[in-house]
Each structure stands twice: as structure tokens, then as C-alpha cells.
Amino acid sequence: MSAGTHLRRWASRVCSARTMECLIDPVIADLQHEHEHANGCGQTWHRCVALLRGYFAFWRVLALHVPRLWLNRMVQLALAERRAIGRALFAAAVTMTLVTASLLAAPAHAMARRDSLALWLLVLLLPQSVPFSLPLGLSMGVVYGLRGRTATFQIRRLVIALGLGGSLVSASTMVWVVPEANQAYRTIIAGHVILRGPAEMPLLALRGQALALRSHRRDKQAGQLFLSYHARWALAGAALVFAVFGLGIAALRRGRIATIAIGAAMSVIYVSYFAQLGELELSILSNEPLSFALVWLPNVLITLTSVACLSVRNDRQSAISST
Amino acid sequence: MPPSEIRSLSPKEFLILDLLVQEGELYGLQLVKASRKRLKRGTIYVTLGRMEEKGYVESRLEDSPAKTGGLPRRLYTPTSFGRRVLSVWTRAAETLRPEFAR
């Protein structure tokens, strides 16, 4: 078997026939030609260099071409599915607004002041809602965008890309924005600079504090910090999980009310779970793997549910096509 | 023709066309070697693909593939349009050079 055959076979699965013809095949042909030429020289290092240069060229071509190709495809998909995308954006925006409003309702109600400073305080609380509102908005956007249509492979890939993007935004918000916004909020309320609490600590400092507390046998407090630390990562991953969940609900093809009910129920359960988790004061949680498992449990369960919904849909489709 | 419809010729495309006009027919790897490191083997085929879309070059697979069963390599030649574009750009560059040198 010639060098690069496996690479070519793999590339043919992700690239179009035109890309294979104009980009991949010439690169592989060069690789094979150089490798064959090096074989004639008989020196091992010569063969290795030829292979390395060929493989490097192959990956460079892919790295340059594939993002451009995917972007073009996304633009074409967006143009072809304008109405569905508009519906998805509208549903996502409404869901995000509702979730944000419901999360901010209690602090807004408790605020004694009703001036511009109160408004600024609410703005400082906004980043906290992003890790919840973004995933839930994504799932509802996916459900409404897909209403009455089959999720093709291209659409599924787009949804997963959106989920990954959402997770990145969530993670960035949790790591950089939320601690600073929380600290600014507390400083304004206190009227002077105060020490950072667990919710205001940067990620590394939070874990360091948890480890320090555990080493001093303050297991309850350490457990809370470990929960807080892992919850930030789990919430960052929620955007991807809920985007796939949106695909799962859409695949069930239930009525509009049933779909909203399923989505809303899952959202309430998810938010409540994390709210309850924040209240836990158990020394056993200083066991880090246990904290990790507790915070990731909802994501795992939702992913399994989504996969089950999607596989049920696939089974139904294959049963219909076989009859 | 409005200026926006005139196809551009990037420095890399200019170099490739120039080499192809001088040598006649070349493989991608031969172009890389002939360019003395000004072209990279990881980007040459992306540029050549773009030039084919613009109609500057055309390609064909080599006649006799390697004996070991490897893929046939692709040979590139300039089209008559590509040759005309190159000569126009060369003349334009020669005309403008004294202007930019001021």
C-alpha cells in the first residue's frame, strides 16, 4: 500500500470530490512520488523526511481549505434556510430573555433602590445568567428552527458547531467576566473594597483555596468550593449539551405545547438542580471526584436522553423505509 | 467592464504564471522548487485551484502513473487568458514602477 493511502481515504469522507481532485490528490501524489524517490535512495532518514514533509503539506492544505469550505457551506445553508434561521433566532432570543428575567427577578425585587445605580447593579448580575440562558436559548432555537423538518447531517453539524461556540462563550464568561462582575457588585453594595468570596474568585484561585481548606480538614467548606469549581466547567459545557437536547426534542416531533413543556421542564429541573447544589454543605464533597460527578450528572443524563430520542427517531425512519 | 469585475493577480499567482510561462508545464512540487522557497508546498495547490477557477491555468493528470500504484500527479499549464493577463500585468508593473519610485 502506498504512503498516504489511509490519509486519502479519510480525507475523502470529509472533502468534496472537487476538493479531492484539486487539493488532496495532488498533495498525496507528491507525497507518494517523493517517498518512492526516497526509497530509491535507500536511506531511512531520507524516506522519513519525505513522509514528514508530505504529511505536513497535507495538514496545511486541510487547515487552510476546510475552514473556508465550511464557512461557505454555512453561508449557503443560512441563505437556503433563512426562514428557519429567523424562527430559531427569535425563539432563542425570547427564551434567553425569559430565563434572564426570571433569574434577575428575585434580586431586582429585593433591591431597595430604584435609580441608575440599581440598574447598574442589575447589569453586573447579567453575566451570571449567561451560562443558563445561553444553553436554554440554544435548545429552544434548535427546536423551533427544526420544526417540521428532518435534521440532516449538515444541520446536525451546524447545531453541534453552535453548541461548541456557545460553550466557549459560556466558559469565557464564567472564567473572566462573572468573577469580576460579582466582585464589582459586592464592592458597590458594601461601599468599600472587600475580600473575594468563592463566586468572585478566578478558577485557579478557587481550586487552590479548596485544596488548602481540605488540607486543613475543613471538609465542608472545601466541598462547597470544589462544587463551585466543577460547576463552572459543567455549566460551560451545558450549551453543547442543550443544543444536542434541542435536536433530540425536535426529533420526537411532538406538538408545539408538548415541545415547550418538555423544554421548560428540563430547564426548570436543570436550574433548580444547580441552585440546590449550591446549598449543599457536606464534608463528603471534599472528595473531588464525587463533586465532579455530581455537577456533571445533569449534563450526562441530558446527553443520554438526547441520544435516546435521536436513536428512536432513526429507528422509526428505518422501519418506515423498510416497509 | 467596471473595475470590480477585473480579476486580480496576487504576487503568488503572478509568480506561478511567470514560472509556467517560462517552463511550459510543471507539477506543483516542481513549481515549489523552481520558486526558490517563495511558494510553499502546503499552499501551492490552494493557489493553483483558485487560479484554475479564475481561468489562468489548466491542469491534466500525468500520462503514466507511478509503477508502485501511487496516484498520478497533476500537471499545470498557463491558459492563453493567463498568458494575456500576465503580459498585461507585467506591462502595467513596468509602466507604474517609475511612478512608485518617485
What are the pLDDT digits (tens) for A257-281? 888 888 888 888 888 888 888 777 7
pLDDT at A111 > cutoff 80? no
**Does the pLDDT of residue A303 top 90, yes or no?**
yes
* pLDDT band, residue A178 (cuts 50/70/90): very high
Q: Which of A187, A112, A30, A22 is nearest to B72 (CA)?
A: A30
Would you state the pLDDT for residue B76?
Answer: 94
Contacts of A288 (CB under 8 A, 6+ apart): A226, A230
Report the share of chain A in percent with pLDDT over 70.
94
- Provide the greatest CA pair distance for chain B: 58
Q: What is the pLDDT of residue B16?
A: 93
Q: Which of A22, A27, A53 sits opposite B52 (nearest CB)?
A: A22
Residues 6+ apart with CB under 8 A from A290: A284
Q: Where are the alpha helices (DSSP H) in chain B?
A: 11-23, 28-34, 44-54, 80-101
Record the pTM. 0.62
The reported pLDDT for the residue numbered B6 is 66
| Contact A30/B at CB under 8 A | yes
SS3 A256: helix
State chain A's mean pLDDT as an integer.
Answer: 84
Structure confidence at residue B78 (pLDDT): 94
pLDDT at A151 over 90: no
Q: Which residue of A has its CA nearest to B47?
A: A23
Q: Which region, left, alpha or beta, applies to residue A42 given φ > 0 means left and ψ of -120 to 50 means alpha?
A: left
Question: CA–CA separation, B5 vs B66, rounded Å?
Answer: 42
Q: What is the pLDDT of residues A204-259, one digit of tens each?
A: 888 888 888 888 888 888 888 888 899 999 999 999 999 999 988 888 877 778 88
Tell me the DSSP string of A142-171: HHHHTTTS---HHHHHHHHHHHHHHHHHHH
Beta-carbon separation of B68 and A64 below 8 A: no
Does position A323 have pLDDT exceeding 60, yes or no? no
Q: Is the pLDDT of residue A1 over 70?
A: no
- B57 close to B82: Cβ distance less than 8 angstroms: yes
A8 touching B (Cβ < 8 Å): yes
- Give B67's DSSP letter: T
Judged by a CB distance cut-off of 8 A, whether residue A15 touches chain B is no
Query: What length is written for chain A?
Result: 323
| C-alpha cell, A232 | 463552572
Interface of A with B in 34-73 (CB under 8 A): 34, 36, 53, 56-57, 59-61, 64-65
* Residue ranges of chain B with per-residue pLDDT less than 70: 1-6, 64-69, 99-102
Q: What is the pLDDT of residue A289?
A: 87
What does the pLDDT average to over A153-157? 80
Contact yes or no for A34 and B29 at CB 8 A: yes
- Mapped onto helix, strand or coil, the DSSP state of residue A181 is helix
Q: Which pLDDT belongs to residue B57? A: 93
* Residue type, position A273, single letter: Y
Residue among A23, A29, A65 minimizing CB distance to B71: A29
Q: What is the mean pLDDT of residues A285-312?
A: 88
Half-sphere exposure of A248 (CA within 13 A, CB side): 20
| Cβ(A234)–Cβ(A203) below 8 Å | no
Using an 8 Å CB-CB cutoff, list chain A residues near B70: 2, 29, 32-33, 36
Complete edge-to-edge strand list for the sheet that includes strand B57-61: B26-27, B74-78, B57-61
ipTM tops the 0.90 cut = no
CB of B30 less than 8 A from some CB of A: no
d(CA B45, CA B26) in angstroms, rounded, equals 12
Contacts of B73 in chain A (CB under 8 A): 26, 29-30, 33
- pLDDT band for position A119 (cuts 50, 70, 90): confident
Residue in chain B lying closest to A55 (CA): B42
